[in-house]
Chain A
Amino acid sequence: QVQLQESGPGLVKPSETLSLTCTVSGGSLSAYYWNWIRQPPGKGLEWIGYIFYSGTTTYNPSLKSRVTISVDTSKNQFSLRLKSVTAADTALYYCARLTTVTHGYFDDWGQGTLVTVSS
């Protein structure tokens, strides 16, 4: 098991860019898929996208035009950028490790960080 910790601003203004970082400790990024998942208050989980340790990315089609996920293997971190945010992007943002695609599962999660979009 690895430990994941999200960090970043808790408040973002509408139309601006949300930026979060996930720091992975207790293991390397190699051979896994590193994901961002969000949960609006009182609602369900929404997958945002993942990055493979090599840098390959896949995004939720509904968010694809606004999302960028990047990785810094030297720091054992990966990051999320979500541009042009609105109040609908207010959510608890989790980073999580996916074991593989097709038959994979999320076996480690961060504690989540609340991001509020408000002026």
Chain B
Amino acid sequence: QVQLQESGPGLVKPSQTLSLTCTVSGGSISSGGYYWSWIRQHPGKGLEWIGYIYYSGSTYYNPSLKSRVTISVDTSKNQFSLKLSSVTAADTAVYYCARGPLGDYYFDYWGQGTLVTVSS
């Protein structure tokens, strides 16, 4: 059973960089066949896809966030990470990591989510 677990600071100051890591267990990122995504949910709101990475390192980002987002992968640790720069209060959200099958467009496994609050 594949499991994903987000980790990182729960509080980030405005203008700083939000950094989160997703650790994958029960499956290897480097085996291919899946893309690894970050998705966020603002408090009481719907879902917003942030971007994804493939094990090779190729990425695709939501154009609305592209200028501030970097997603990277560390296959040796079976982890992938999110960096979101120049954060504001509008970036306060629950951040999820999720897996999706290559060639299709859904997310079959999700992490439990982590709340990141942007506040001074």
Real binding pair: no
Binding site for B on A (CB under 8 A): none
